[in-house]
Chain A
Amino acid sequence: GAVVSQHPSWVICKSGTSVKIECRSLDFQATTMFWYRQFPKQSLMLMATSNEGSKATYEQGVEKDKFLINHASLTLSTLTVTSAHPEDSSFYICSARVLAGSSSYEQYFGPGTRLTVT
Chain B
Amino acid sequence: AQSVTQLDSQVPVFEEAPVELRCNYSSSVSVYLFWYVQYPNQGLQLLLKYLSGSTLVKGINGFEAEFNKSQTSFHLRKPSVHISDTAEYFCAVIPYNQGGKLIFGQGTELSVKP
Interfacial residues, chain A to chain B (CB-CB below 8 A): 4, 6, 32, 34, 41-44, 46, 49, 91, 93, 95, 97, 102, 104-112, 114
Contact = CB atoms under 8 A, between A and B. Distances in A.
The range of chain B's interface size is: 20 to 34
A44 B104 contact: yes
B102 A107 contact: yes
Contacts of A34: 101-102
Contacts of A43: 90, 104-107
A105 B30 CA distance: 13
A52 to B, nearest CB: 14
A63 B109 CA distance: 30
A114 B100 contact: no
Contacts of A114: 41
Interface of B: 32, 34, 36, 41-46, 49, 51, 90, 94, 99-102, 104-107, 109
A46 to B, nearest CB: 6
Interface centre among A46, A97, A105 (most CB of B within 10 A): A105
B42 A42 contact: no
A17 B77 CA distance: 46
Contact of B99 (A6, A42, A49, A108): A49
B100 A32 contact: yes
Contacts of A91: 41
A49 B101 contact: yes
B42 A111 contact: yes
16 contacts: A32-B100, A34-B102, A42-B106, A43-B104, A43-B107, A44-B102, A44-B104, A46-B102, A105-B32, A106-B46, A108-B46, A109-B36, A109-B44, A109-B45, A112-B43, A114-B41
Question: When A and B form their complex, which 4 residue pairs have the shortest distance between CB atoms, in order from nearest?
Answer: A109-B43, A109-B44, A111-B43, A43-B104
A93 B44 contact: yes
A93 B101 contact: no
